[in-house]
A and B are shown apart, each in its own frame.
Chain A
Amino acid sequence: MALTRRNFLGWLGAGAAATTAAAVKPAVAASNKHFEGHPDSNAVLHDLVACVGCRRCEAACNKVNDLPEPDQPFADLTVLETKRRTTDKTYTVVNRYDGLRPTGLPVFAKKQCNHCLEPGCASACFVKAFTKTPEGPVIYNPKVCVGCRYCMIACPFEIPAYEYDKAFDPEVVKCTMCHPRIMEGKLPGCVAVCPTEALVFGKRKDLLHTARQRIARRPDLYVDHIYGENEMGGTSWLYLSDVPFEKTGMRMDLGTTPAPALTAGALAAVPMIAALWPVLLGGVYLMSTRRDKEAHKEKEDALKSAREQEQAAAKASLKKASEDAAKAQQKAVEKAVKDALAQAEKKREEEQKAKQQAQEAGQSPDGQGQESEEES
């Protein structure tokens, strides 16, 4: 590749634009807009201290959502031996964590959709199948879902599941916070059945207040953190715990940036590239064609001047040749004249001689005598 100055500048421009595009991200993330959730939206507070791991929430969830019968009955607590996650047949699971409490009692943590204030699944969906409702729940519309499963990649809490076994109408499956029941004024299935108030339903604002009070009342017991208050920009499911959250399968390294902000920069670069790339490329094209044209012209000029030089040289040599020829001719003429003169002279001399001889012969007819005279 001939790396000319213009090409190089073109690429440099491309690189600079790409870098700038990438650098847009922090600016967007650090914008002064901060979404604190819909006003008066609902939430659930899950207090791990109060949870006894009875799995009645799981049973209730299964019932109100018409989910298929599980392999093992809900009363069978041996299920808790293994760590589970939500699946296409289970919207919520309770996991048991041993050896965390000084008392030796196990810790139980319920897992389900956290209903983010700014959900990653909704931001990732290319057909807007997910909606954050003003009531709090994040709900799913199977009528538009293509089944790309990007929502499952996007969810930081690893909640949405997929019906891989269905060939014709597979859907993404996750907890709805019992949105239909909330609209009817009822509690979510799991909350309604919880015997220990480990699950409390209410306005998110109020629940944050309750949670802070519980921590304030028992600072020796609770970890001073409300999980979900700010995680991934805040969620509508809040957690309190007496053991470190990360020990109960809740990630503490997710940060407080809401999922949509993570891709906002890249999205913001899209229209800029669409707007500026054609200009840049068009410019490069014009430069390269102009370069070609100039190169062509230079070549033509060079050819022309070469031709002229050649012509001049030819003329000069022609002139010299003709001069030489003229000189040679003159010389030849001169020589011819000289020769002719010389010849004429010779002839004249000869004639004179002959005349003389004739004269001499006339004076003494006996030419022999003269010859013999000369011999002797």
Chain B
Amino acid sequence: MSSQAVRADRGLITPFNVIAGVIVIMGMVLTAWRFAGGLGAVTNLDNHYPWGLWIGLDLMAGVALAAGGFVTSAAVHVFGMKKYSSAVRPAILTGFLGYALVVIALHYDVGRPWRLPYPFIMSQGTTSLLFEVAACVALYLTVLFLEFSPAAMEWLGLKRARMIVVKLMLLLTIFGVVLSTLHQSSLGALFLIAPGKLHPLWYSSYLPVFFFVSAVVAGLSMVIFESSLTARYFADKMDEAHKQEKTTVAFGFAKAAAFTLVGYFFAKLIGIAVDNNWHYLASGYGAWFLVELLGFVALPAFLFAIGSREKKLGLVKFTAVWTVFGIILNRLNVSLIAFNYHLPASERYFPSWQEIGTSIFLITLGLIAFKFIVTRMPILYSHPDYPDEH
């Protein structure tokens, strides 16, 4: 596969392009189907499940996995950990594309997407946590765009504009962390209104804290995962500094993720203890909860700690992927699997192939955009004209 990226520059007929092309064509058909036929034509959504895969995966998990941008930029620009500088641009780019995809996915999911600006311009429902999420996501997408823009400006040669943005970087980073804290936690808080529908093991008044802390873990893991992917497929685009810092980033972030996961683990236990929900652990949902808590929180905490301590890069990379799956699982549990737990199996939701296909289509769009940008703009290397930047 590593030769693929190299070959992509030479001709259009590459395995990546062929597969991506097929998916994009399928996605365009599904898009036409969705907007001409309505949600009912392509989704398995019903009145019990107004939110399906597009919210559970594309929005809930997507936003969490795009947290690498704020985590990395905060570590470098606010906490002054300059040794991770080379990780900032790839993380910001991943975050920016992630949030862009979230917003695109929302256009598919809401009934009247052309009204998405309504909460801001027509009627402000400020009692809604969704209003808060919408406002923060809209603002944060703008912040991410600005944080990403220096790379594009270096590519386009807009020196003056770039200087202005670079000077604003600290401010943008702090604003980004504030917005991320707010909407990452508010995504969890959305479910606070439905204590009767979400299984007690997942429902907790600490849901916003859980979502925020696990988003930090997701962000750290995604940076490790993403850097291992770029090292493999875009090695020709990386300069020496980036290649050398790659392992520093992986071990440093693994250590941070291990600490954060331990905190998250105990926070989850406290969540059960506060509501005295221990007895649910003995049920079927309890077993599933333990799979998530032990298998995807405690285990990766342990593996990250071992990996960073013993300097085992392979283990760290594997654990990063494992943790990413764990966070996706958590978001799906909260929004779909443990949601409506009281309904009989016959009334439970499972996504249609069109919903799954659309999600794959959107992720593919993200990969194509990432490839396009990484192969053109100074993301994995320092631009020769701006050597101080990284």
Instruction: List the interface of chain A (C-beta within 8 A of B).
Output: 1-3, 7, 10, 15, 18-19, 21-22, 25-26, 85-88, 120, 122-129, 144-150, 152-154, 156, 158, 160-171, 251, 253-255, 259-260, 262-263, 265-267, 269-270, 273-274, 277-278, 281-282, 284-285, 288-289, 291-292
A277 touching B196, Cβ below 8 Å: no
Q: Which residues of B are found within 8 Å of A251, using beta-carbon distances? A: 196
Q: Check A254–B38 contact: CB distance below 8 A.
A: no
Contact of A144 among B122, B208, B253 (CB under 8 A): B122
Inter-chain CA distance A264–B92, complex, in Å, is 32
Complex alpha-carbon distance, A147 and B78, angstroms: 39
- Contact A278/B206 with A147-B111, A263-B129 known, Cβ cut-off 8 Å: no
Could you show 25 A-B contacts with beta carbons less than 8 Å apart?
Answer: A15-B263, A19-B209, A22-B208, A124-B130, A144-B122, A145-B112, A146-B113, A146-B116, A147-B110, A153-B190, A153-B194, A154-B194, A156-B194, A162-B45, A165-B41, A169-B112, A170-B38, A254-B196, A263-B193, A265-B192, A267-B127, A267-B132, A270-B182, A281-B178, A288-B80
Those of B93-134 within 8 Å (CB) of chain A: 109-113, 115-116, 118-119, 122-125, 127-132, 134
The answer to whether A18 touches B79, judged by C-beta atoms less than 8 angstroms apart, is no
Chain A residue contacts of B170, Cβ below 8 A = 285
Which of A2, A87, A163, A167 is B36 in contact with, Cβ under 8 Å?
A: A167
Within the complex, the shortest CB–CB distance from A56 to chain B, in Å, comes to 24
Known pairs A123-B193, A127-B118 / 18 extra A-B pairs, C-beta < 8 Å: A1-B81, A18-B212, A22-B205, A125-B125, A126-B130, A145-B112, A146-B113, A146-B119, A149-B51, A149-B111, A150-B50, A153-B190, A153-B193, A167-B41, A170-B111, A253-B196, A267-B127, A269-B208
Q: Which residue of B lies closest to A267 (CB)?
A: B129
Does B15 belong to the interface (CB within 8 Å)? Answer: no
Contact of B47 (CB < 8 Å), options: A86, A255, A266: A86
Query: In the complex, which residues of chain A have a beta carbon less than 8 angstroms from the beta carbon of B109?
Result: 148
Q: Which residues of B contact A292 (CB under 8 A)?
A: 80
> Does the CB pair B118–A285 fall under 8 Å?
no
Give, as a whole number of angstroms, the nearest-CB distance from B264 to chain A.
Answer: 11
Over the window 27-47 of chain B, the binary record of Cβ atoms lying under 8 Å from chain A Cβ atoms (1 yes, 0 no) is 000000001111111010111
- A126 close to B125 (CB less than 8 A): yes
Q: Is the CB of B195 within 8 A of A262?
A: yes
Residue B328 lies at the interface, judged by CB distance under 8 Å to chain A:
no
Known A-B contacts A1-B256, A19-B209, A153-B51; the reply to A124 vs B81 at CB < 8 A is no
Which single member of B45, B80, B174 contacts A282 (CB below 8 Å)? B174
Residues from chain B with a CB closer than 8 A to the CB of A158 are 47-48
Any A CB within 8 A of the CB of B243: no
CA distance A236 to B213 in the complex (A): 40
Residues on A with C-beta less than 8 A from B253 are: 1
Give chain B residues whose Cβ lies under 8 Å from the Cβ of A122.
127
B186 at the interface (CB under 8 A from A): yes
Kindly state whether residue B197 has any CB partner on chain A within 8 Å: yes
B→A interface (CB under 8 Å): 35-41, 43, 45-48, 50-51, 74-75, 77-81, 109-113, 115-116, 118-119, 122-125, 127-132, 134, 170, 174-175, 177-178, 181-182, 185-186, 189-197, 205-206, 208-209, 212-213, 252-253, 255-256, 259, 263
The distance in angstroms between the C-alpha atoms of A25 and B204, with both chains bound, is 11
Tell whether A128 pairs with B125 under 8 Å between CB atoms, given A148-B110, A274-B182, A282-B174: yes
Residue of A nearest to B130 (CB): A126
**A85 with B130: CB separation less than 8 A:** no
Across the interface, which residues of A come within 8 angstroms of B110, CB to CB?
146-149
A3 / chain B contacts, CB cutoff of 8 Å: 255, 259
Secondary structure call for the B interface:
helix
Question: Given the known A-B contacts A125-B128, A273-B181, A277-B177, are A162 and B205 also in contact in the complex, defined by CB atoms under 8 Å?
Answer: no
Nearest-CB distance from B147 to chain A (Å)? Answer: 15
**Contact indicator B196/A156 (Cβ below 8 Å):** yes
- Contact A273 B124, beta carbon cutoff 8 Å: no
Given A149-B50, A153-B197, A270-B132, do A165 and B38 touch, yes or no (CB 8 Å)?
A: yes
Most chain B CB within a 10 A radius of its CB, from A21, A150, A160: A150
Q: Which residue on chain A has the smallest CB distance to residue B249?
A: A1
Given A152-B50, A164-B46, the answer on whether A146 and B124 have CB atoms closer than 8 Å is no
Which one, B79, B128, B252, contacts A288 given CB within 8 A? B79
Q: Tell me the bound Cα distance from A125 to B123 in angstroms.
A: 10
Which residues on the A side are within 8 Å of B130 (C-beta)? 124, 126, 148, 150
A145, B111: Cβ atoms closer than 8 Å: yes
A83 to chain B, nearest CB (A): 9
With both chains docked as a complex, state the minimum distance between the C-beta of B99 and any C-beta of chain A, in angstroms.
17
**With A2-B81, A277-B177, A284-B78 given, is the CB distance from A265 to B128 under 8 Å?**
no
Shortest Cβ gap from A132 to chain B (Å): 12
Task: Return A140 CB to nearest CB of chain B, in Å.
Answer: 13
**Max chain A Cβ within 10 angstroms of own Cβ: one of B75, B111, B177, B255:** B111
Please, which residues of chain B bring their CB within 8 A of the CB of A149? 50-51, 110-111
Partner pick for B115 among A87, A147, A153, A284, CB 8 A cutoff: A147
A266 x B196 contact (CB < 8 A): no
Inter-chain contacts of A15 with B (CB < 8 A): 263
Do residues A127 and B186 form an inter-chain contact, with CB atoms below 8 A? no
In the complex, residue of chain B having the shortest beta-carbon distance to the beta carbon of A251: B196
Contacts known (A18-B212, A125-B125, A162-B111); A262 close to B39, Cβ less than 8 A: no
Cα distance A2–B248 in the bound complex, in angstroms: 11
A162 B123 Cβ-Cβ under 8 A = no
Given contacts A126-B119, A164-B43, A285-B170, contact A150 B195 (CB under 8 A): no
- Top 9 nearest A-B pairs (CB, nearest first) are A147-B111, A288-B80, A164-B40, A149-B50, A266-B189, A167-B38, A126-B131, A152-B50, A170-B111
Decide: A266 and B185 in contact? CB cutoff 8 A. Answer: yes
B197 CB contacts on chain A under 8 angstroms: 153, 156
Chain B residues with CB under 8 A of A285: 77-80, 170, 174
Contact partners of A162 in chain B: CB under 8 A: 39, 45, 47, 50, 111
Distance between Cα atoms of A10 and B193 in the complex (Å): 32
Question: Could you tell me the distance in whole angstroms from the C-beta of A90 to the nearest C-beta in chain B?
Answer: 10
Q: Which one of A1, A128, A288 contacts B123 once the chains associate, using CB atoms below 8 Å? A: A128
B-side contacts of A129, CB under 8 Å: 123, 125
Query: How far is B115's CA from A148's CA once the two chains are assembled, in angstroms?
Result: 10
* Contact in complex: B192, A266 (CB < 8 Å): yes
State how many angstroms separate the Cβ of B256 from the closest Cβ of chain A: 5
Could you tell me the distance between the alpha carbons of A249 and B367 in the complex, rounded to whole angstroms?
47
Closest Cβ neighbor of B183 among chain A residues? A270
Please give the distance in Å from B87's CB to the nearest CB on chain A.
12
Q: How far does the alpha carbon of A20 sit from the alpha carbon of B99 in the complex, in Å?
A: 28
Q: Assess the A255–B195 pair: CB atoms within 8 A.
A: yes
Q: Select from chain A the residue with minimum beta-carbon distance to B204.
A: A22
CB of B127 within 8 A of CB of A260, answer yes
Question: How far does the Cβ of B10 sit from chain A's closest Cβ, in whole Å?
Answer: 40
